[in-house]
Amino acid sequence: MKLGFVFPGQGAQFVGMGKDLYENFEEVRNIYETAKNITGIDVAKLTYESTEEELSETKNTQICILVMSLAILELLKKYKIEADISAGLSLGEYTALIYSGYINKEDGMKIVQKRGEYMQESVPNGEWAMAAIIGLEDEKVEEACKLSKEAGFVVPANYNCPGQVAISGEKKAVLVAMEKAKELGAKRAIELKTSGPFHTEKLITATYKLEKELDKIKINNNASKKVIKNIDAQEYNEKDDIKGILSKHIISPVKFSASVQNMINQGVDTFIEIGPGKVLSGFIKKINKEVKILNIQDVESLNNTISYIADHQV
């Protein structure tokens, strides 16, 4: 069995996520306390006692998902469960970089706090939207966006899995592209609950701001574990300008499908999704039906995963 970890991004959040883990494990409470001391945000209170609307603000969502995933990693460390390769969807890439040792925990929390703030405040005026196009080849989704240019700005933002690409841009153009996609054979086109044109050039000011913050932290280019990056679905290596890649990450499409395929090509046969929800598990199932997919987001799923790993380790 070869394990790979995957970490979710914005959109997976819900009020109360991971609360029973917090209540049952001191290691989890310690991570939330560390986050509070580093960021000045009471992440536990925000996660468990806020409204869906408040938690869904980008500046809140990102730090809350990161901290939950990091807390679960502490538990996996306790049970000596590790993976030598990981990937994340957008924000989740930061969790992977912290887990793998490219960025230390404190710097990672600070950067993600700033990333969330900058992405929220850098959304330009206007009406923006994202939509998931289901059941259409990547090239045809790209074509649907090109055919909708007269209505405004719209581009592919997330290549999630075969037959699912998220598009992003001006609301009017996104709605037109949804119709064009259906005309080209898409099974469905679903508008998503998001607050801005993420992973497009429209967030260029957030890139500039984050670049300055990234300059303040130390990157360890000789990390002990592999991370597959969103930007090109290749491994980070010691020659990469990691700070430059992370600043461009905000305005570049997420190549999650190809990232998972790369992990499978390297022998990963068992994936663990670490954090709220099971969105990535659904994507992975569509990428490859043969691999085993586990997830950890509460005490029950933690125990199930620990039992499975114990039973299948050679």
Give tens-digit pLDDT for 23-64: 999 999 999 999 999 999 999 999 999 999 999 999 999 999
Domain check: are 178 and 235 in the same one?
A: no
- State the catalytic residue, choosing from 56, 122, 199, 252: 199
| Token pair in block for residue 307 | 């039992």
Domain check: are 209 and 259 in the same one?
A: yes
Closest C-alpha among 229, 257, 301 to residue 164: 257
Domain check: are 149 and 263 in the same one?
A: no
Q: What is the mean pLDDT of residues 2-22?
A: 96
Domain check: are 224 and 251 in the same one?
A: yes
Question: What is the pLDDT of the chain when averaged over all its residues?
Answer: 95
Domain check: are 41 and 183 in the same one?
A: no
Least-confidence region, from 93-97, 124-128, 257-261: 124-128
Domain check: are 152 and 111 in the same one?
A: no
State which of 171, 194, 217 marks the end of a domain: 194
State which of 176, 194, 212 marks the end of a domain: 194
Domain check: are 188 and 217 in the same one?
A: no
Strands 188-191, 128-134: pairing kind: antiparallel
Domain check: are 76 and 211 in the same one?
A: yes
Q: Maximum CA pair distance of the chain? A: 58
Q: What is the mean pLDDT of residues 243-265?
A: 96
Answer yes or no: 168 catalytic. Answer: no
Domain check: are 18 and 96 in the same one?
A: yes
Q: Which CATH number goes with the domain that contains 80?
A: 3.40.366.10
Into how many domains does the chain fold? 2
- State the catalytic residue, choosing from 69, 90, 100, 148: 90
pLDDT at 221: 84
Which one-letter DSSP state was computed for residue 132?
E
Domain check: are 93 and 181 in the same one?
A: no
pLDDT tens column, 174-232: 999 999 999 999 999 999 877 689 999 999 999 999 999 999 999 998 888 999 999 99
Closest C-alpha among 140, 128, 153, 139 to residue 180: 140
Q: What is the mean pLDDT of residues 255-282?
A: 97
Distance in angstroms (rounded) separating the CA atoms of residues 186 and 17: 33
Domain check: are 146 and 257 in the same one?
A: no
Q: Which CATH number goes with the domain that contains 159?
A: 3.30.70.250
Answer yes or no: 90 catalytic. Answer: yes
295 Rama class: left (phi>0) / alpha (psi -120 to 50) / beta: beta
Domain check: are 151 and 287 in the same one?
A: no
Using 50, 70 and 90 to split pLDDT, how confident is the model at 314?
low
- Provide, rounded to the nearest whole percent, the portion of the chain with pLDDT above 70: 99
Q: Which domain holds residue 98?
A: 3-122+202-312
Question: 239, 269 in Cβ contact below 8 A?
Answer: no
Q: What is the mean pLDDT of residues 228-247?
A: 94
pLDDT tens column, 58-109: 999 999 999 999 999 999 999 999 999 999 999 999 999 999 999 999 999 9
Q: At what angle do helices 204-214 and 242-249 cross, to 10 degrees?
A: 150
Distance in angstroms (rounded) separating the CA atoms of residues 6 and 272: 6
pLDDT at 195: 65
How many degrees, rounded to 5, is the angle at CA 131 between CA 296 and CA 207? 80
Q: Cα dist. 152→40, 129, 138, 145 in Å?
A: 40, 12, 20, 10
State which of 142, 175, 194 marks the end of a domain: 194
Using 50, 70 and 90 to split pLDDT, how confident is the model at 11?
confident
Strand partners, 161: 164
Q: Which residues of 149-170 are buried (b: 16+ CB within 10 A; e: fewer)?
A: eebbbbbbbbbbbebbbbbbbb
pLDDT at 148: 97
| Token pair in block for residue 266 | 């390297």
Q: Cα dist. 211→16, 23, 96, 121, 313 in Å?
A: 32, 37, 19, 15, 42
Distance in angstroms (rounded) separating the CA atoms of residues 195 and 180: 23
Checking if the pLDDT of 135 tops 90, the result is yes
Distance in angstroms (rounded) separating the CA atoms of residues 65 and 67: 6
Q: What is the mean pLDDT of residues 284-290?
A: 97
